[in-house]
Amino acid sequence: MIKLVAFGLAAIMAVTFVGSGMATAADVTVKGLVQTQWIAEQHKASTFAARAMRLGASAKLTEKISALIVLEAAKEPNLLDAYVDYTFDPRLSIRSGQFQMPFGLETQSSRFDQEAIESSLIINNLWKNGSSTGYSRDIGVMCTARHKVFELKLAAVNGVGFNYGESGAVFPKWGTDNNSHKDLVGRFGVGIPVFAGLGFSMYQGKWPAGDTLSVPDDIVYVGKDRTAMGFDAYLDAGKILFQMEYIWAEGRVGGQWKDAGDISDPIKYGGYYVIIGYRVTPMIEPIFKYDKYDPNKDADDNSQRDLCLGLNLNFEGKARLQTSYRIRDDESQKEDVENNQLIVQMSGKF
């Protein structure tokens, strides 16, 4: 309750500040997103849930400098985005602060624009590497370079996410690094925006494995490598939509390294997804998604698969009603357990 009250007061202060600023700065923009769901899963009670409730503000401070901040109130109050951009020219910019990491397609797409309701299995597990909860944002600096059909994004980040290690605070603590190694993440893409493109992504970092080295007046955690590479492609050609990603990685999965209870080698894991959509009209869009994840490539019979059949109704780019039936299959289950889901999601942004 204290968290919600504090968040509400902060939001009111932010809106008040933005509102007063709009009188003197016409280039301040307030934006928001609301997403609610109804979820029905076999053998579980159906429920209504708030997936996203976001409020943000952006401002152009000077001709070359802009800033953005986004707060999230769903589940637990969080500071999502908070960064400053310096644009040298349209071909080169630098971002400093907390931002979505430049890896693949789904990680960087806004929640409103995702064609499938649920995030892909490999994406969820990739950003849970070393943490109990997933994150696709981190704190650091990022450089973006563009030239005609080419784009390169490269970031140096802490590698621990945006709210790691502060579960009892009114506002989560920023993700202070827990080792001296900075993680590198980047994507190189070739394509025509909002039409077609190909991309290659990489992640190279470390996560403390539990071993320690004693140094004067301090303890240093010994890190284990966590790496990832990904290939992505998309096509948005009028009525036809196609999107896919293939990712292979090494690191910590499910809170463990390769040998449970022992500090050992990182686990090799990976997966891919494919989304195909067809716009019958600008409003009506059925979609199909196949999603496969392998949590340990050195083990057999442990893959997870999702087959999603969905229907998206788009309302003038400001609201969406999405329905998805999710057929799930987990080879690691010793017994066949039916846990398919029907999800209906309404989204609105401003």
Residue 68 has pLDDT above 90, yes or no: yes
Q: Where does the pLDDT of residue 64 fall: very low under 50, low under 70, confident under 90, or very high at 90 and above?
A: very high
pLDDT(215) > 60 = no
Q: What is the DSSP letter of 110?
A: -
Mean pLDDT of 287-303: 92
Q: Structurally, how many domains does the chain consist of?
A: 1
CATH number for position 285: 2.40.160.10
Note the pLDDT of residue 210.
54
User: What is the structure's pLDDT at 55?
Assistant: 96
What confidence score (pLDDT) does residue 311 get?
98
Residue 185: predicted pLDDT: 97
* Contact call for residues 179 and 206 (beta carbons, < 8 A): yes
Using a pLDDT cut of 70, give the percent of the chain over it: 77
Categorize the per-residue pLDDT at 166 as very low, low, confident or very high, splitting at 50, 70 and 90. Answer: very low
239: CB partners within 8 A, 6+ apart: 278, 279, 280
CA distance 159 to 178: 9
d(CA 202, CA 135): 17
Residue with tokens 């602060």: 97
pLDDT band at 30 (very low <50, low <70, confident <90, very high): very high
d(CA 266, CA 160): 17
Structure-model confidence comparison of residues 64 and 264, the more confident one: 64
If pLDDT is split at 50, 70 and 90, which confidence band does 334 have? low
Region 9-38 average pLDDT: 63
Locate 101 and state its tokens.
Answer: 């990491």
CB-based contact 98:139 (threshold 8 Å): yes
Structure confidence at residue 63 (pLDDT) = 92
Q: 């400093």: which residue's tokens?
A: 96
Average pLDDT, the chain: 83
- Report how far residue 281's alpha carbon sits from residue 204's, in angstroms, rounded to the nearest whole number: 43
Looking at residue 226, its pLDDT comes to 86
Q: Which domain holds residue 105?
A: 2-349
Among 60-64, 163-167, 179-183, the range of highest mean pLDDT: 60-64
The pairing of strands 304-315 and 319-330 is antiparallel
State the pLDDT confidence band at 22, using cuts at 50, 70 and 90. Answer: very low
Task: Compute the average pLDDT of residues 307-316.
Answer: 96
Closest CA to 102 of 15, 2, 12, 189: 189
Q: Residue range 88-117: average pLDDT?
A: 94
